[in-house]
A and B are shown apart, each in its own frame.
Chain A
Amino acid sequence: MHPADTMGQTREGAQYGFAFLDEDAKRELRRSIFKAVCIPGNQVPYASREMPIARGFGTGGMQVTLALLGPDDTCKVIDQGADDSVNAANIRNFFALTCPGVTGTLRTEEASVIQTRHRIPELPLRADQILVFQVPYPDPLVVVEPNAAKRRRMHGRADYARLWVKLYEDMVAFDEITISHRYPTRINGHYIIDPSPIPRFDVPKLHQADCLYLFGAGREKRIYAVPPHTDAVPITFTDVPFAVESFRDKTTGKRHTCRRCGADDSFLDEFLDDDGARIFQCSDAAWCDMRLERLEAAE
């Protein structure tokens, strides 16, 4: 191994305790998580610690995950749905370094804790699994009110009038609600959350799920939760149904499919190959691999 491969990694890692954070920090995190679960959708402030990766790279999700992991856990980390994205690989390496005993996996069904950025896995999660989101902006009201003290009051009163006005203004200007990701979603009939920058496609997965969803915002120092079997409803007007990304080909009118596994119901990444041709492929790498395995087994 080249000496630089251990830079900030294995050699120094040995000098840190299990899961990096000191025990007081982990206890505080667990208490905040409990509170978040008890009051679905409520943003619980906590003293977010600095992580050895930068703010904005998932320090909130990491702290939640580190507080959850024990040596018998199995952990998966994804970014944009993929395990091999640079940031996912980096965070996975950090867990490997600081959480001896924890098993790493690329398979969604094997993981007890999954940390994610921007996606919810396609495979429905079970009651014994926890999905931890990395959250850049925990507060859906930030688009209409920059002052944090005022926003806190608005949440307490469930005063979301200005969000509704924003949606209405979108309809007037574009005949469409323009919010693409971070779609404001009402939890258990009261608090509206920012579900993190997941696409619209993933928002329905929050509703009445079997698993626990935890959201950690490191820079903004908030934790919130969507517990299992809880209502999660994207806000919209009765005559404007909530629509997910269509992936419809404009010329043929048909939905694009994954060029690898052929899936016609997954969230797709759209990109150009070297010849400039447009390509579509499952964003959830584990899902795509699983489908390929099944197809091969069936042959």
Chain B
Amino acid sequence: MAYVAIRGGADAIKGAARLMDVLRAMGDAAPLELDQIERQMPLLHSRVLSEGSLYHPRLASLALKQSLGDSLEAAFFLRAYRSTKPRLGETAPHDTRNMRVIRRVSAAFKDIPGGQMLGATPDYLHRLFRFELMDEGAERFDEIARDWLGNRAASDTPLTFPKVLDTLRDEGLLAPLDDSDEEPFDITRAPLIFPVPRSAQLATMARGETGGLLALAYSNMRGYGDVHPTVGELRVGYVPVMVPHPVTGKPMEAGEVLMTECEIVAMFEKSDDGAPVFTLGYGACFGHNEVKAIAMSVLDRAISVAKEKGRIANPSEDPEFVLLHVDGIESMGFCTHYKMPHYVTFQSDMDRLRAAQGKAEEAGNAPR
């Protein structure tokens, strides 16, 4: 569209865009490189990947740089970019048993087949400042890498691990997996009209905002709900992505995605054949984000409980309440929009108030 020159608003937003750039460039610090963001802030980077729901590590870094480090805004960049891309096809379900695991733990068992593997986690760190990091050079990074890799053979650790829950299933403590051939609901191509299938529920939460999911799941954990989860297995690693070959249709590996997966085991319920079994909640997302995966698995279970019982007792069990409010792009956008001009509607509000005040005055009980 040809540019129409107007004053006022147009100039102001141009100025605001420039100031955002100035904010980034002021001072003596060197410009951030995309690699630095991906390598040194991988957990922030992970949040953006999963909430943006587009696995593009390099663009996620660019998004963080452009949004001055705001994770909501950065995820938004990826989402908006997604709108310009057609959907080319579907993959078959992926088996996370094939995950090249970098971390996996189970809270349900002391020891698990393949062993507990802590990997990189802040869980048991003392949150005490290491003041020496305030000033570290590149040679220090080399030293850290040399120390770690120097005394380790590459073959020390297995690449894949069996799933903890398979053991429970074999023992009949957990219901066997449904081999569902139901077509998954694509939340990017159809709006949520309630009730929605579980695939829509999982997909919505997989790209939900971490803080939003956490707040709702926490309400359930604290007592507005009764999931009482045990982490059956939490694993983080790289899953090979198999896409159908455009000509032969045979699955071929197109790359791998880093993801976090959590399976929680919850209170037992009567199964279809009458015998009680444990129930399951599932959470998974792009990147390394354990809080998100756990919160999602609790909410998945909470919603499923209410569905099975046909009764919603708490907000975290209500699919509408949870699924329509956990998307960061939508909630952040709508919250932000209140800053826009609303003077026409406010004018209208004043008219109504004045009319009501007039009526009250006529009736002789004017507000003081």
User: In the complex, what distance in Å separates the CA atom of A99 from the CA atom of B2?
Assistant: 8
Complex Cα distance, B84 from A5, in Å, reads 22
A214-245 interface with B by 8 A CB criterion: 219, 221-222, 243, 245
Q: A20-B84, A47-B189, A104-B2 are in contact. Are A85 and B333 (CB under 8 A)?
A: no
A89 and B334 within 8 A (CB): no
Interface mask (B333-357 → A, CB under 8 Å = 1, otherwise 0): 1111110111111011111101110
Interface locus among A160-168, A176-184, A290-298: A176-184
**Given known A-B contacts A4-B20, A89-B9, A270 and B337 have beta carbons under 8 A apart:** no
B332 contacts which chain A residues (CB < 8 A)? 54-55
Contact string against B for A residues 102-143, beta-carbon threshold 8 Å, 1 for contact and 0 otherwise = 111110000000000011000000000000000010000000
A247 to B350, CA, bound (A): 10
Which residues of chain B are near A7, meaning CB under 8 Å? Answer: 17-18, 20-21, 66
> Are B348 and A175 closer than 8 Å at their CB atoms?
no
By the criterion CB–CB under 8 Å, are B20 and A57 in contact?
A: no
| Chain A proximity of B326: nearest CB distance (Å) | 13
Determine the chain B residues whose CB is within 8 A of the CB of A182 once the complex forms: 345
Q: Check: A148 CB closer than 8 A to any chain B CB.
A: yes
Does residue A208 face the partner (Cβ distance < 8 Å to B)? no
A56 in contact with B337 given A89-B8, A245-B347 (CB within 8 Å) = yes
Complex CA distance for A40 and B189, rounded to whole angstroms = 24
Determine the distance from Cα of A147 to Cα of B315 in the docked complex, in whole angstroms. Answer: 12
User: Does residue B10 face the partner (Cβ distance < 8 Å to A)?
Assistant: yes
Whether A265 sits at the interface, judged by CB under 8 Å, is: no
CB-CB under 8 A from A100, the residues of chain B are: 1
B343 with A176: CB separation less than 8 A: no
Range class of the B interface residue count: 35 or more
**B341/A49 in contact, CB under 8 A:** no
Q: Are A46 and B1 in contact (CB under 8 A)?
A: no
Complex Cα distance A101/B358, Å?
53
In the complex, which of the residues B1, B12, B86, B189 contacts A96, with contact meaning CB atoms closer than 8 Å?
Answer: B1
Q: Which residue of B lies closest to A81 (CB)?
A: B344
In the bound complex, CA of A152 to CA of B195 (Å): 11
Give complex CA distance A211, B233 in Å.
Answer: 60
Q: By the criterion CB–CB under 8 Å, are A84 and B341 in contact? A: no
Number of contact residues on A: which range applies?
Answer: 35 or more
Q: How far is the CB of B328 from chain A (nearest CB, A)?
A: 10
Q: Is there contact, CB below 8 Å, between A148 and B85?
A: no
Task: From B75-83, B95-103, B262-270, give the one contacting chain A.
Answer: B75-83
Q: How far is the CA of A198 from the CA of B3 in the complex (A)?
A: 27
The answer to whether B352 touches A180 (Cβ under 8 A) is yes
A residues in contact with B17, CB < 8 Å? 4-5, 7-8
* A146 CA to B290 CA, complexed, in Å: 32
A87-B190 Cα distance, complex, nearest whole Å: 28
Q: How far apart sit A83 and B341, CA to CA, in the bound complex (Å)? A: 13
Q: Are A21 and B83 in contact (CB under 8 A)?
A: yes
Report yes or no: A199 in contact with B2, Cβ–Cβ below 8 A.
Answer: no
CA distance A89 to B18 in the complex (A): 16
**Complex CA–CA separation, A95 to B18 (angstroms):** 20
The answer, yes or no, to whether B4 is at the interface (CB within 8 Å) is yes
B9 touches A22 (CB 8 A): no
Complex Cα–Cα for A99 and B348 (A): 35
Q: Please determine whether B10 and A17 come into contact, CB atoms closer than 8 angstroms.
A: no
What residues on A are CB-neighbors of B333 within 8 Å? 54-57, 59, 219
Residues from 56 to 86 in B contacting A, C-beta threshold 8 Å: 66, 76, 79-80, 82-86
* A-contact bits for B1-37, CB 8 A (1 contact / 0 none): 1111011111011100110111000000000000000
B329 an interface residue at 8 Å Cβ cutoff? yes
Q: Is the CB of A99 within 8 A of B352?
A: no
A119 surroundings in chain B (CB, below 8 A)? 344
Decide if B363 is an interface residue (CB 8 Å cutoff).
Answer: yes
Write out the residue numbers on chain B whose beta carbons fall within 8 Å of the beta carbon of A3: 21
* Bound complex: CA A126 to CA B190 (Å): 34
Contacts of A269 in B (CB 8 A): 343-344, 347
Q: Contacts A176-B359, A219-B333 given; indicate if A5 touches B14 (C-beta within 8 A).
A: yes
Docked CA distance A3–B22 (Å): 11
Determine whether the beta carbon of A178 is less than 8 Å from that of B336. Answer: no
Known: A174-B359, A176-B356, A245-B351. A25 touches B343 (CB 8 A): no
Residues of B close to A22: CB separation below 8 A: 83-86
- Contact B10 A80, beta carbon cutoff 8 Å: no
The answer to whether B4 touches A221 (Cβ under 8 A) is no
Complex Cα distance A222/B333, Å?
17
- A283 lies within 8 A of B344 (CB): yes
Contact with A along B170-209 (1 / 0, CB 8 A): 0000000000000000001111111100000000000000
Q: Say whether B344 contacts A80, CB under 8 Å.
A: yes
The residue in chain B whose Cβ has the minimal distance to the Cβ of A101 is B1
Which chain B residues lie closer than 8 Å to A105 at the CB level?
A: 4
Across-interface contacts of A201 in B (CB, < 8 A)? 348
Cβ contacts under 8 Å, A80 to chain B = 341-344
- Choose among A8, A100, A102 the residue with the greatest number of B CB atoms under 10 Å from its CB: A8
16 contacting pairs across A/B (C-beta < 8 A): A2-B18, A50-B83, A54-B336, A56-B335, A57-B337, A80-B344, A85-B9, A86-B13, A93-B13, A147-B320, A175-B356, A176-B352, A180-B349, A197-B345, A200-B351, A245-B348
B residues neighboring A (CB under 8 Å) = 1-4, 6-10, 12-14, 17-18, 20-22, 66, 76, 79-80, 82-87, 188-195, 320, 324, 329-330, 332-338, 340-345, 347-352, 354-356, 358-360, 363
The 5 closest A-B pairs by CB, nearest first: A56-B337, A55-B333, A54-B333, A89-B9, A221-B191
